[in-house]
Structure 1
Amino acid sequence: MRVLFVDDDAMNRRVVKDMLEVAGVVMDEAVDGQEGVDKVEQSDYDVVLMDLRMPGMDGLTAIGHIRERSDDKASIPIIVVTADTSVNIKEDCISGGADDVMAKPVAMKPLFKTMAQYIAAKAKKN
C-alpha cells in the first residue's frame, strides 16, 4: 500500500509515517497542497491524507484539483486529517471532495480502519 500525506508540519508527518511503517505501508510526503497535487500527478497512491491549513495551496483547494482530473486518480480516496474542530468542518470537507475527516492527533487503529474502508470501497467499484 502506498499513501501520500500532505501536511506542512514535519512532526505530524513523522508520527503518521512511523505508524504506517509498522504495517509496511509506504508513505510519501508533501508539505503543501501544490506539492500534493504534483505528487498525485507523478505517482499512484491508494490513499491521500490531507491537512487543511497549509501555506500556499490549502488542502481543500488541492482536493478540488485532484477531483477535477479526467483520469482514475480523480477518485483516489482522500481523508482529511485536521486539527480544525469547527462545527461544520466535516460537512465542508465532504462537500469539497474529501471522502472522510479525521481529527488530529490521529491514532493508529482508527487511521487504518478508515483507510481500509475506502480502499475496499474503491476496489469494489473497479
Structure 2
Amino acid sequence: MTTRANPLRFLVVDDTEDIRDLMARMVVRLGHLADEAADGVEAVEAIQKAAYDVMLLDLSMPRMGGEDVVRWLNGHPEQAAGLRVVVITARAGERRGVLRELGVSSVLHKPLRTQQLRDLIDETASGSTPPTP
C-alpha cells in the first residue's frame, strides 16, 4: 500500500457534506491527501487548478451531476491525464451502461467501506487499473 511518503491525491465530490467529509477523512487516515467539492461545478474548478490521482464522484448532485463531470473530462482530456474516476453511488445499477459508454469502469456502492478504499488505493498505486475516463 502507498504510504505518506508517496501519498495519492484525491478529490472527493459529493453534495452531502457528511458523506463527503467522511470519505475525505477515510482517505486521510489511510495516509493520502483529500480535497473536497460539493458538486460537479466545484469539481471541474478544482481539476482545472490541481492534478489529482483519484476522483471519488457521486452521480446525483445539483448544478452538475457526476455523469456531466465525466463528459466534461472526456471533452478536456488534458485535464484528466492520469486521473482515475471512481463513481461512488447508492444506485448505479440502471446507470452502469451509460457509465461504461463514458469510460467509467470503477463503481463502488455507498456506504464506502475502508477495505474498498484500501483496495482502490492499492490498485491505483500499483497501476493495475487504467485511469478513467
Provide the TM-score with structure 2 as the length reference. 0.82
Long gaps (5+) in structure 2: 1-7
Contact 1:48 1:76 in 2 (8 A): yes
Q: Deviation of residue 111 (structure 1)?
A: 1.7
Match of 2:9 among 2, 10, 14: 2
Contact 2:92 2:107 in 1 (8 A): no
Long gaps (5+) in structure 1: none
**Structure 2 matches for 1:40-79, cutoff 5 A?**
40-71=47-78, 73-79=80-86
**Structure 2 matches for 1:78-117, cutoff 5 A?**
78-86=85-93, 88-117=94-123
1:110 counterpart SS class: helix
Report the count of equivalent residues: 124
Deviating 4+ runs (over 4 angstroms): 122-125
Higher RCO, Cα 8 Å, sep 6+: 2
Identity of aligned residues (%): 27
Provide the TM-score with structure 1 as the length reference. 0.86
The structure that is helix-richer by fraction is 1
- For the aligned residue pairs, the C-alpha RMSD in angstroms reads 2.2
Q: Return the letter of the residue paired with 2:89.
A: T
